[in-house]
Each structure stands twice: as C-alpha cells, then as structure tokens.
Amino acid sequence: MAVRIGISLIAWQNDDLPELTKDFTTEGAMQDAARIGYSGVERGRRMPADTAGLRAYLDRYGVALCGGWCSGNLLVNDLKTEKAAIAAQVEQFAALDAPCIVYAECSNTIQGDRGTPVSRRPRLSRDEVTVYAKKLSELAKWTRDQGFVLSYHHHMGAMVQDACDIDWLMAGSDPALTLLYDTGHLHFAGADPLAVLDRWGDRVHHVHVKDVRQPVLDWVRAEDRSFLDGVAAGVYSVPGDPEGCLDFQAVTDRLKAMDYDGWIVVEAEQDPAKAPPFEYSRRGYDHLVEICTRSGLNIQP
C-alpha cells in the first residue's frame, strides 16, 4: 500500500478568481510543483486540451495526472446526455492513468458567484438527494465499465456540502460511486472531517487536503459572505501552516488505519500576494511527507 502526493495548481492559476493569479503562468506552476517534489498535478483549464498534447506536457515536467475537475449537470440532464458530456474527459483521463475524475454537480451551485452568500447555497431534501444518488450511481457504473473511477466532490456552495448531504448521497448510491474527501470544505461546512472519514472511509478514493484559517471563516459566517469572498480573504491554506486549525496528523493516521492507497492532493487556493505559491506549496509538501512518514504511510515517488 502506498500514497502519492500531488497538487492542484489553483494557488498559481485560480480559474474562479483569475485576477488573483494573473501574474503566474501554468508553465511556472508546473516547474514549481516538480521542483518541490510533487508526483502529480490535477488538470487545469490552461493545460493542453488534447490527450497527446497533455501527455507531452506532463512528461516535460516529470509529473503524472492525478485527477481533475468535472462540472456535472446530471441534476438537469438525462443519463444519456450526461454520459456524452463527460465521455471525452473519461477517455482522456483513463488514457493518462489518472486515478479518477473529480465530479461535482454544478447545475445549481453558487460556489462561483461572488455576489451570493454561501448561506444561500441550494438545499435538497433527503428524498431528492436519494433520487439524484440513484441516477449518479448509473453514471458511476458506466465510468466503471470504461475502467475508470468517478469520485464525487462535496463542495461549499453546492447541493452536497455538509456531512448530512454526504450521508444521504453515500447511503443512497451504489459503491461504484466513490467519494472525494476534502478536509477544508468539510470544516468550512461545519462538519467534523475525522467523523466523515470514519463513517465513509471505505468509499474514499481521492483525498484533497487544505487547512482553514478559523478567524477568516468566522468572518465569512458573521458577515454572510460568499465562498469566493472567503477564498480571497484567505480562508484556506496548506497543511503545515501555523495559522491553520486542522489536525492533519490525525487524518494521515486514519488513512493508514484504513489502508488508504491513492493520492493525497494539496488544493489550497489563496491570494498569492499574501501567500506566495512556491513557499506555501513547499510547506504543504514537507508537512505531508513528515506526517505520512510518522503515520507509517509509504510514499510512492
């Protein structure tokens, strides 16, 4: 059993708040990630779109493709339409040996709307989530039949956000649907990240790690601000930041206990003027290496 440590380039190239990262190139981000020691990167919008071009691009920097975002619309699409919409990404990621696609329902999310407070995110009843989960199970079975894994990303501002939403989605779905476990989104949502991992660890296929600056989160809640307001103000940081409030040693201890075998991906969107991407990404990597080693997790280079 082994883990691999990857990173999303969102600290250098923020697609939702591009003005924050306008002074950084994807090429520079790839160079930084490889120089720090990350084994893989998640796909960004500014990377080559074609499979051959993306493979050559990854090979140039000596990193693997460790996943990537997929904006789902299954709530409003029928299954046939949604399969057609994501088929090219599934085929490409399978060809490049990515561990999964990071799927999240985006048809009704407010995560990218800076003018809408996160408190006004869409909410579904348990029955509605269960209906959606059954439909999503069929999509996950289809990707499984293509030899590929679909991992669902709970996300702030989305209809699957907190521990209750995750419980309903997992309980109502087939095991073919796996879970992307994200520490920062769980804490932001008011959930206990360790409790969610204890409950659904057998469904976790992919892990995102980011820390939370509690004073900024308190401000978002008190002022009823949007998710992107929180990001711009610095609600997230990397593991190992002394300003963070999460215990990542406890997370890696749990991952070891459940024999987790997969990617652990740093995904901490920040304002680079306040948190230089290379410095913070290196801090996150060094901290993960330290705590994974202490937990007894074998790190695959």
pLDDT of residue 108 exceeding 90, the answer is yes
Neighbour-count burial for 3-39, b at 16+ CB within 10 Å, e otherwise: bbbbbbbbbbbbeebeebbeebebeebbebbbebebb
Confidence of residue 301 (pLDDT cuts 50, 70, 90): confident
Residues 189 and 162: their CA atoms lie apart, in Å, by 5
- Mean per-residue pLDDT over the chain, rounded: 97
The pTM assigned to this predicted structure is 0.97
| 8-32 tens-digit pLDDT | 999 999 989 999 999 999 999 999 9
Q: Which residue has the tokens 């999509």?
A: 139
| 204-263 tens-digit pLDDT | 999 999 999 999 999 999 999 999 999 999 999 999 999 999 999 999 999 999 999 999
